[in-house]
Chains A and B, each alone.
Chain A
Amino acid sequence: MAVCSTTTLSIGGSVFSGQLRHWEPNESKLFQKPRSRFRWFCLNDLYLLRFRTKTLNFNPSGSLLPSLYAYGKEADDAFLSKVNEDTDEMFDDLMKKYGEVVFRKNDRKSPSAELDDDAESLSFAVEMAKVASDVKAADIRVLFVKPLVYWTRFFIIATAFSRPQIDAIGSRIRDLAEKKYGKIPSGDAKPNSWTLLDFGDVVVHIFLPQQRAFYNLEEFYGNATLIELPSETQPPFHT
């Protein structure tokens, strides 16, 4: 007799609501086993199949637990059904049990230290942009993408008109970064129609004109703030 429905079961004092599926007729044997183990069955439909075997000696704290679920062994009234249904209540229980902050990364810096890092990266980025403009790259943009992506702070996008020019821009930027800041980029070593130099906080994109139009990164990062670059006609920039 297969039971395929969403039902609320109360067994041994623990309340479950979940989907019970595909119970074979000899499943009734399961109910003769100690009740405390039953709560683990409804975890995940996959695991239900495992417990049809005669040996029901499994380790509750072992590898059967899916890595997503967070609950303790001693949670008596943990009703764990499909994630969509009771997640809110599960989180509330966790909050009550462990407090508001469950995990905090240790490498968060204070806001002032972050600003200093930002200023450093900004000066680096502006220097790179200046080098690019020395080699006559066109349409240089410096975008502040930190609020949008977490893995970098600034993007520099430049257009070069030929591969030797891309090569020249790339090598000059690399040399200056290494000499002055000691940073070595990862990224393209050979000139490419889209050459990318990854300095960690700052990523430099050098395009040929067709590629720039094709990939249109400025549109993708349209929400990023544009940093004004100093040139002869413009007044000094402000961050």
Chain B
Amino acid sequence: MCIRVIGASNRRYAHIGDVIVAVIKEAVPNTPLERSEVITAIIVSTRKELKRDNGMIIRYDDNAAVVIDQEGNPKGTRIFGAIARELRQLNFTKIVSLAPEVL
């Protein structure tokens, strides 16, 4: 669950490419992350559509984020699903290089 959107004070919503502070509400057992742990993550897919200047609209079926550590490196080793190329312009090329497909 998102606690805070990093980057501006009192921002209401986060979109693709925003870094958020979140707390884990539900965790799969036997993973390094546990319930009620506070983490930083970057949002990589949203159900709200992402609009591009050329008119392309990207809308995912689910909201998802990639957990990162304080240095900005992803905590996991692989990423599932397609990633929008806006992340590369926002300096998250590490996530893009781990993505199986870039849209």
A-side interface residues toward B, CB under 8 Å? Answer: 67, 149-151, 155, 186-188, 192-194, 196, 198, 203, 205, 211, 214-217, 220
Contact = CB atoms under 8 A, between A and B. Distances in A.
A48 to B, nearest CB: 20
Nearest to A189: B91
B32 to A, nearest CB: 12
A192 B71 contact: yes
Contact of B97 (A186, A205, A214): A205
Interface stretch (B11-19, B22-30, B33-41, B72-80): B72-80
B75 to A, nearest CB: 10
B93 A211 contact: no
Contact of A151 (B71, B72, B73, B85): B85
Contacts of B21: none
B97 A211 contact: no
B102 A67 contact: no
Contacts of B20: none
A149 B102 CA distance: 8
B4 interface: no
B8 interface: no
Given A67-B57, A151-B102, A215-B77, A198 B93 contact: yes
A192 B70 CA distance: 10
Size range of the chain B interface in the assembly: 10 to 19
A196 B77 contact: no
B96 A151 contact: yes
Nearest to B102: A151
Contacts of A187: 91, 93
If over half of A's interface residues share one DSSP class (helix, strand or loop), that class is named, otherwise mixed; here it is mixed
A193 B91 contact: no
Contacts of A151: 85, 88, 96, 102
A198 B88 contact: yes
B98 A203 contact: no
A-B residue pairs, 8 tightest by C-beta: A198-B93, A192-B71, A194-B73, A67-B57, A196-B93, A215-B77, A196-B94, A151-B102
Contacts of B93: 186-187, 196, 198, 203
Interface in B33-83: 57, 71-73, 77-78
Contact of A193 (B71, B78, B88, B102): B71
Contact of A220 (B72, B73, B91, B98): B98
B70 to A, nearest CB: 10
Nearest to A145: B97
Contacts of B94: 194, 196
- Please indicate which of the listed interface residues B72, B96, B97 has the most CB atoms of chain A within 10 Å of its own CB: B97
Contacts of A220: 78, 98
A192 B102 contact: no
A67 B49 CA distance: 11
Contacts of B97: 155, 196, 203, 205, 217
